[in-house]
Amino acid sequence: MRENIVQDVKEEQKDTEYLVMVYGSLKKNFHNHHLLHTSELLGEQKTAEEYTMYGLGGFPAIKEGGSTSICGEVYKVDDPTFKRLDRLEGYPHFYNRKEIETSYGTAWIYYIKDADSLKSNKVIESGIWER
């Protein structure tokens, strides 16, 4: 009986893993990529053509309801990393997130909550943020 309880506790202590698609400063060779240092890059991904990407200076933002595919990278992240990404993205106040289907499985993607605030920013027609 005690062995089962110990095993259950060990199972609960394992980190949950998430898939996250990043498209801006978290991509490899960009300034916030260090937050993904313990994560596994699964590969590149393009979304469906249903977003608009805006350049906000040091990072991009996407909004729902456009006609552009967003190009990014999908990572497998652990629970502490996912929480760090939420802090960086200002979730749930600045960015929101939703699940999308990718070649690697269902992944989270961050999108801007206040899309009206983006209207004065440059649209990135390609869906590829290169800074």
| Catalytic machinery residues | 89
Is the C-alpha dihedral spanning 129, 119, 69, 37 positive or negative? positive
CB of 111 closer than 8 Å to CB of 54? no
Angle at CA of residue 45, ends 40 and 131, nearest 5°: 90
Nearest CA to 90 out of 123, 64, 113, 118 is that of: 113
